Amino acid sequence: MRGAGAATAAASMGLAGCSNPASQSDSGGDGGGGGEIPGEPLRMACIGFTSGAASVFGVPMMQAAEMTVDRINENGGILGEREIEMEQFDENVDQVIQQYRRLATQEDFDIIIGYISSADALSVAPVAEELAQPTIIWDTGTTELFDTAVTDPQYVFRTCASSSTDTVGAARLLENAFSDVQTVAGANQDYAFGRNNWNLFTQAIESIGIDVEVVAARFTPFPTEDYSATISALSNVDPDFIFSSYWGGDAVNFITQANNQGLFEDTIPCFSAASHILGDVPNQIRDGFVFGARGPHAPFGALEWSQLHQQFVRNYQNEFNEAPYAHGAFHAWQAIWAYVYSIERAYNLTGTYPGKDQWISSMEGIGFDSPSGFVDMPRGSHNVVEPSLYGLADTSGDRLSLRDTSWTAPELVNPPPTMTTSEWLDSL
Amino acid sequence: MYVLQQFLIDQLIIVLNGLSRASTLFLLGTGLSLVYGMLNFMNLAHAAFLPLGAYLSASLIRRTTGVVGDSLGFVGLFVVFLVVLLLVVPAIASMVGLVMEQALFEPLYDLEDDYHLLATFGIILMMEDSMKFVWGGQPVSATAPADLLGTFSIPGGTYPWWSILTILITAAIAGTLYYFLEATRLGRITLAMAEDKEIVSVSGIDTRSIHLKIFVISVGLAALGGALYLPGASITTGLSLEFVILAFAVLVIGGLGSLKGAIVASLIIGLVQAYGTYYIPQLALAAVFLLMAAVILVKPTGLFGEIDA
């Protein structure tokens, strides 16, 4: 019953028939692979920050990755026969490219999944193409990845939404849900992620033609622990709405100090990437604060009707004694299952275990249900698109959740595969 | 008239922000300066006692709130918090510092300066990882003391009383330290050791004992800085590395081993950062180091120091 591993696992998780049939006749070249299911375990490297500030994402990601791989192996592994042997690596190293080259060439991993930092993903992606190493970027948001760094990707895929989803989604939120907002300000970290987010957000406002005035754009060093002067400057311009891509300790400090200085008394704060702090500092989150989750990755308040979502959140809580508020936990699930589905899909279509080229063909156009809803890799793209989700913090229950969630369809917050994000925004 | 009023309010808030920042830097930088003055020992790991104090405060505030939070009234609970933050946390951190001094720092004293920097920087990393092991990598906060005090209204917003209290407590500590160094025997010996340790030693004074006392006080002050910092913010890994640079700037600008220098340098850096962040945020951090470079060029010993930086 080869291939039934996939079918069994998929059916048991409500996934049967979710792959995109459009590409099923297209299995590509041999790429040096093909044939029987290999007897030896599949070697998977997972790279994320397990130390440093970004470990707020990396640790939950590694936890979710471990949990996901364990579940797959409990069912026999890929295709029910091939176990996954996962090794974790800290992204917090000085020589990211050297680390990547070592994993790809000397340690010979079948698949490298990783990267949270935009800079790291941008550095590694061209090397992955050069080495023809199957690689999945699992968390990085920068739109530069496929807009400028690797414009014709073969071996690199991204299985999470880009920052386009978060920023254009926030602009659409202004258009549709907060149409009375007249003035907008930004508070973002002064590095690639913060700058990229703010630029995309303001470009989206202008291109969509939303009638608001941008009254301030504040960038703070990453990390910053004292926001008092930044908050004073924002208070002085008294915006109706603040867009912020702060995350981690920066988000906590900004919110804590802004609460103390009364910034949010008549200003709506919108955090595009900080939903992970809902579990860390619930007493600082006021009812009605707007949160995004780098895609639809909220454990409570969205998608709770989904059995797969419930199962993931419950398993994660049981195993780690905390809720998966960090969007990275969902990203890890998506990355690992995207790879497993693509292998199983190729095998089920051709009857042979895929080599690199067949794997690429199988990944292109893949679609599957996930704990965060349907994940879609449009044909012609190596980047998953997801809907944008924003919601208001709901502090009425025992645990924080999102209410009055606003969803925006993927095609309204992401460029088509033939355009860069900037080109698409200009064309709106 | 309205514009002038708004301008003055802005200035008041910026100055308060600067003083609040200066308070943390003073509590951290003074100890570093005193220890350097006495032993010619540049202990970069000193900066790690600030987050240690903050983490300890978070645990104790949460525990206190859980145990006696419901039974004590506003005043009672606030007094308990003050005792925890001002006494218990510095005491625990000082004990940790004392053990580390004997086990890790003391063997380094006779080595060259380069080794001091390398070894104590390594110890910072060890302490950072140890704190992450105990308290995790997620941001930790405990705002109950600041929440109890609340905020006061200013036109266009509010301002936290906790920041005002932090400034006042730090000012009182600065005054007490000044008195201690100028008017007490231990203080005068401390200053004398900074001048010439060997002369003090041959006069029959147990310099090792004096040094240990100053070391413990220094660690306690750094931990107090963290304890007062926490209720208005949160703490996460990496804070030591951020603060060590600023503490070093306090030393260089104020002058190595000078209390007066630490006070003035903390105020200057706090205000430069507050004004810089408000008016030219991109250059706020650079401004501090430009200032540091200017001081080194004009007066290499720092504003109040006599030891070469």
Contact B174, B263 (CB under 8 A): yes
Least confident among A155-159, A170-174, A304-308: A304-308
CA B298 to each of CA A170, B245, B253, B301: distance values in angstroms, whole numbers, following the listed order = 50, 21, 11, 9
d(CA B78, CA B90): 18
Structural domains in chain A (count): 2
Contact A161, A292 (CB under 8 A): no
Same domain? For A202 and A75 the reply is no
Same domain? For A187 and A51 the reply is no
Same domain? For A97 and A124 the reply is yes
Mean pLDDT calculated for residue range A29-43:
73
Nearest Cα of chain B lies from the Cα of A182 at a distance, in angstroms, of 18
Percent of residues, chain A, with pLDDT higher than 70: 92
* Chain B CB within 8 Å of residue A87 CB: no
Same domain? For A38 and A107 the reply is yes
| pLDDT given at position A18 | 36
| pLDDT given at position A303 | 87
* Chain B CB within 8 Å of residue A30 CB: no
A249 vs B139: CB contact, 8 Å cut-off? Answer: yes
Listing DSSP states for B141-167 in one string gives ---HHHHHH-EEEETTEEEEHHHHHHH
User: What would the pLDDT profile of B138-174 be if each residue is shown by its tens digit?
Assistant: 788 888 999 899 889 887 778 899 999 999 999 999 9
CA B122 to each of CA A55, B25, B132: distance values in angstroms, whole numbers, following the listed order = 20, 22, 15
Whether residue A298 is contained in a domain is answered as no
Same domain? For A289 and A347 the reply is no
Whether residue A308 is contained in a domain is answered as yes
Whether residue A133 is contained in a domain is answered as yes
A229 vs B282: CB contact, 8 Å cut-off? Answer: no
Domain ranges for chain B, please list them. Answer: 30-237
Place of tokens 């609970």: B77
Of B132, B153, B156, Cβ closest to residue A235: B156
ipTM surpasses 0.90: no
Of A228, A263, A283, Cβ closest to residue B17: A228
**Domain that includes residue A61, residue range:** 4-161+304-376
Of A219, A228, A236, Cβ closest to residue B282: A219
Same domain? For A311 and A354 the reply is yes
User: What would the pLDDT profile of B218-241 be if each residue is shown by its tens digit?
Assistant: 999 999 999 999 998 888 877 888
User: What would the pLDDT profile of A223-263 be if each residue is shown by its tens digit?
Assistant: 887 888 899 899 989 999 999 999 988 999 899 889 988 89
d(CA A131, CA B68): 61
Same domain? For A314 and A371 the reply is yes
Mean pLDDT calculated for residue range A90-116:
94
CB-CB neighbors (< 8 A) of B234 in chain A: 249, 252-253, 256, 281
Same domain? For A360 and A218 the reply is no
Whether residue A360 is contained in a domain is answered as yes
Query: What pTM does this model have?
Result: 0.81
| pLDDT given at position A293 | 93
d(CA A358, CA A85): 21
User: What would the pLDDT profile of A171-214 be if each residue is shown by its tens digit?
Assistant: 999 999 999 999 999 999 998 899 999 999 999 999 999 999 99
Residue A398 pLDDT more than 50?
yes
Same domain? For A188 and A265 the reply is yes
| pLDDT given at position A34 | 55
Q: How many CB pairs under 8 A join A and B?
A: 131
